[in-house]
Amino acid sequence: MIVFLPSEKSLIHLKLDKQLSDRFIIPDSFWDSVSQEASGFFRCQESRSVDDVLEAYTTLFRVLIKQPNTGSSSCKSNGILYTWHKFTFLTSWLPSNKLVVLCFDLPPPFQNTLIASLINSSTHLEMRDMYSIHVLLLWEITKLFDFALWSSRDLVRDLEKNRVSKEDPQPDYDRMHELARHAIHTSEMLEMTLETLTAIIREHELFFDNNPALPKSIRTISKQTMRDLRFQNTIFKSLHLRSKALEDRLRNEINLAFNIVAEYDSRISVRLSKEMQVDSFSMRTIAVLGLLFLPGTFICAIFSTSFFNFSPGNTTEPQRWVVSDKFWIYWVVTVPLTLVIMLLWCIYQPLSRNQKWDRR
């Protein structure tokens, strides 16, 4: 029997958690916030009579999947839509080959898929092995993980096919890092699911090792269940490796974008350096021309002052060039003023340098 229940928080709000715990031997820690926020776990418990006869066998496990999609109910981050799927199951098996499966807060599409798998004639569910149902549940989860990974792969492939231009690189680093974040989450969920599956395999082996008196037919069934669980373990390892490969591909694209931008900046720097060399040559040319004409200009400026007087000659008087006896006034004013300007410049330079360091 399969029962679809609302979320654990809803059951707590409806005060049904106590009844479920008493009926199906659910520990109080399951309802705690730590367990509710966990990305995955597995727990099993045997219920035995005073005579050490097995009365019930209960398992509890969770798997979390991050699904990139375009659904309207999805979370959106930088243009990337995604949905978190939390799958929590409780199985209660009785030696009379009766099984109850509680499914917490499953998405309606997954509920329909699970029901279809159970009623499918090709699905062989062996009730004498309490872990036979886990094979079916985990296989449906495997298909969801595979779909989520291919969705992530499409996003990464789209990024690879639309790489930034080398002529004018404008990479969308935010989107790249968002994709990397989702890939990291997917790898984390797959790794946790592998740990959960490993725990399931270990407890399955432990149960049959601790119960050697079980009939041979049941032990034969358990061997096939073990083979199916180990097969799923290899599938999950394959998915985990694919997820790690997506992380590496994303890291490669981010590094490539950084390198393309760095190369572009380097080309711009070389171009600016060449232009600065041209400007530097022009400035040197101007400086040389200034040095050539400055002495003559300075002499002309001095001789054009009123301290000098040149009178051309005529028929009655010869030409005369007279220097004023007040020429010393020019030097008295010019030399101190030049010294004052140089002194002010020497004082200003250290002060300006200290102000720049203070701002830093």
Query: How would you write the chain as a 3-class SS string?
Result: CEEEECCHHHHHHCCCHHHHHHHHCCCHHHHCHHHHCCCEEEEEEEEECCCCCEEEEEEEEEEEEEEECCCCCCEEECCEEEEEEEEEEEEEEECCCEEEEEEECCCHHHHHHHHHHHHCCCCCCCCCCCCHHHHHHHHHHHHHHHHHHHHHHHHHHHHHHCCCCCCCCCCCHHHHHHHHHHHHHHHHHHHHHHHHHHHHHHHHHHHHHCCCCCCHHHHHHHHHHHHHHHHHHHHHHHHHHHHHHHHHHHHHHHHHHHHHHHHHHHHHHHHHHHHHHHHHHHHHHHHHHHHHHHHHHHHHHHHCCCCEEEECCCCCCCCEEEECCCCHHHHHHHHHHHHHHHHHHHHHHHHHHHHHHHHC
349 located within any domain? no
Higher pLDDT, 237 or 164: 237
pLDDT for the residue numbered 73: 41
121: pLDDT strictly greater than 70: no
> Per-residue pLDDT averaged across 114-129, rounded?
74
171-192 confidence digits (pLDDT tens): 777 888 888 888 899 999 999 9
User: 169-178, 232-241, 262-271, 279-288 — which one is most confidently predicted on average?
Assistant: 232-241
255 located within any domain? yes
Which of these ranges, 29-33, 125-129, 140-144, has the smallest mean pLDDT?
Answer: 125-129
289: pLDDT strictly greater than 50: yes
Mean pLDDT, the chain, as a whole number? Answer: 84
278 located within any domain? no
Higher pLDDT, 72 or 200: 200
Going by pLDDT thresholds of 50, 70 and 90, the confidence category of residue 297 is confident
Same domain, yes or no: 117 and 201 = yes
Same domain, yes or no: 76 and 178 = yes
> Per-residue pLDDT averaged across 329-356, rounded?
84
Same domain, yes or no: 179 and 49 = yes
pLDDT more than 90, % of the chain: 22
127 located within any domain? yes
Domain ends where: 267, 288, 322?
A: 267
Same domain, yes or no: 21 and 80 = yes
Domain ends where: 214, 246, 267?
A: 267
pLDDT for the residue numbered 127: 79
Same domain, yes or no: 158 and 48 = yes
pLDDT for the residue numbered 23: 86
258: pLDDT strictly greater than 90: no
120 located within any domain? yes
Same domain, yes or no: 237 and 316 = no
Same domain, yes or no: 329 and 247 = no
352 located within any domain? no
pLDDT for the residue numbered 142: 93
**Range of the structural domain that residue 330 is part of:** 307-343
79-90 confidence digits (pLDDT tens): 678 888 899 999
> Per-residue pLDDT averaged across 197-215, rounded?
87
Higher pLDDT, 150 or 277: 150
pLDDT for the residue numbered 145: 92
Domain count, the chain: 2
pLDDT for the residue numbered 74: 47
pLDDT for the residue numbered 76: 52
Domain ends where: 239, 267, 295?
A: 267
Same domain, yes or no: 263 and 314 = no
Same domain, yes or no: 332 and 188 = no
pLDDT for the residue numbered 61: 94
139: pLDDT strictly greater than 50: yes
Higher pLDDT, 358 or 223: 223
pLDDT for the residue numbered 236: 94
Same domain, yes or no: 178 and 254 = yes
227 located within any domain? yes
218 located within any domain? yes
Going by pLDDT thresholds of 50, 70 and 90, the confidence category of residue 134 is very high
User: 205-219, 234-248, 258-272 — which one is most confidently predicted on average?
Assistant: 234-248
pLDDT for the residue numbered 164: 75
Same domain, yes or no: 261 and 130 = yes
249: pLDDT strictly greater than 50: yes
> Per-residue pLDDT averaged across 230-256, rounded?
91
Same domain, yes or no: 181 and 329 = no
213: pLDDT strictly greater than 70: yes
pLDDT for the residue numbered 141: 92
